[in-house]
Chain A
Amino acid sequence: AQTVTQSQPEMSVQEAETVTLSCTYDTSESDYYLFWYKQPPSRQMILVIRQEAYKQQNATENRFSVNFQKAAKSFSLKISDSQLGDAAMYFCALGTGGGADGLTFGKGTHLIIQP
């Protein structure tokens, strides 16, 4: 069975500061993908960033970057220069089967941005 654990139910950061959200996972698959999704109050699920497990280079999308530690099965999300619009629930997700399996999600981290 696959698991995804987000150990921080809630995080708070000052606007313009940097925050890191933690995620650990467990899978017996060698080929898998990791994702961070954002869910604002509208409840829409928005893809933030994705990482292929076979790639050693950490993914980056503008102010969002990941720290992928494959041996430790860790996949943290760093948000730089936090903005008020970043306030949301953030979910870490694991996909296997070349994308043919359903994603396994963590329980989420509620990110609060302090103005």
Chain B
Amino acid sequence: NAGVMQNPRHLVRRRGQEARLRCSPMKGHSHVYWYRQLPEEGLKFMVYLQKENIIDESGMPKERFSAEFPKEGPSILRIQQVVRGDSAAYFCASSPNPGTEETQYFGPGTRLLVL
């Protein structure tokens, strides 16, 4: 009965490096959502994926950010050439099947710090 898993929990990068955040959804869940939380703010939706498909990336910055959810393995949120403004907590959530179970279950988050 493992919940949503995210790793690493903490990630430190220097400006210009790449950050890779991983998310494994709950067992039986095939839908993954990524959110970003800036300090003192609520969570902001970034992207919604199903296996091998990006369904909605309306909240994703147009440059440097990408996400995937391959047929096998975890979902990956990739940030290229990180800048200090990318420092935030990144949360992944999963749901079993939107339309029948709408609740999103969250992972513990990855805290990204860009030096």
Partner of A105, one of B43, B46, B55: B43
Q: Smallest distance from the beta carbon of A108 to chain B beta carbons, Å?
A: 5
Known contacts A43-B109, A45-B43, A108-B42; is-contact A102 B56 (Cβ 8 Å): yes
Question: Is B33 an interface position by the 8 A CB rule?
Answer: yes
Number of interface residues of A (CB under 8 A): 26
Question: Is A37 an interface position by the 8 A CB rule?
Answer: yes
Give residues 7-61 of A contacting B (CB, 8 Å). Answer: 33, 35, 37, 42-47, 50
Task: Judge whether B104 and A95 touch: CB under 8 Å.
Answer: yes
Chain B neighbourhood of A106, CB < 8 A: 42
Task: Judge whether B106 and A101 touch: CB under 8 Å.
Answer: no
Partner of B42, one of A33, A91, A95, A98: A91
Contact with A along B18-35 (1 / 0, CB 8 A): 000000000000000101
Chain A neighbourhood of B85, CB < 8 A: none
Known contacts A43-B109, A44-B108, A45-B91; is-contact A105 B102 (Cβ 8 Å): no
Of the listed stretches B62-70, B74-82, B93-101, chain A binds B93-101
Partner of B99, one of A37, A45, A100: A100
Known: A44-B108, A103-B35. 16 other contacts (CB 8 A): A4-B42, A43-B111, A44-B106, A45-B93, A47-B105, A50-B103, A91-B42, A99-B98, A99-B104, A100-B99, A101-B45, A102-B45, A102-B47, A105-B44, A107-B40, A107-B41
Q: Chain B: residues with CB nearer than 8 A to chain A?
A: 33, 35, 40-48, 55-56, 58-59, 89, 91, 93, 95, 98-99, 101-106, 108-109, 111
Closest residue of chain A to B50 (Cβ to Cβ) is A100
Chain A neighbourhood of B98, CB < 8 A: 97-100
Question: Ordered nearest first, which 7 A-B pairs have the shortest CB separation?
Answer: A102-B45, A99-B102, A99-B98, A105-B42, A45-B106, A100-B98, A98-B99
Chain B neighbourhood of A43, CB < 8 A: 89, 108-109, 111
Closest residue of chain B to A47 (Cβ to Cβ) is B103
Q: Smallest distance from the beta carbon of A54 to chain B beta carbons, Å?
A: 12
Q: Smallest distance from the beta carbon of A68 to chain B beta carbons, Å?
A: 16
How distant is the Cα of A98 from the Cα of B99 in the complex, in angstroms? Answer: 5
Task: Judge whether A99 and B99 touch: CB under 8 Å.
Answer: yes
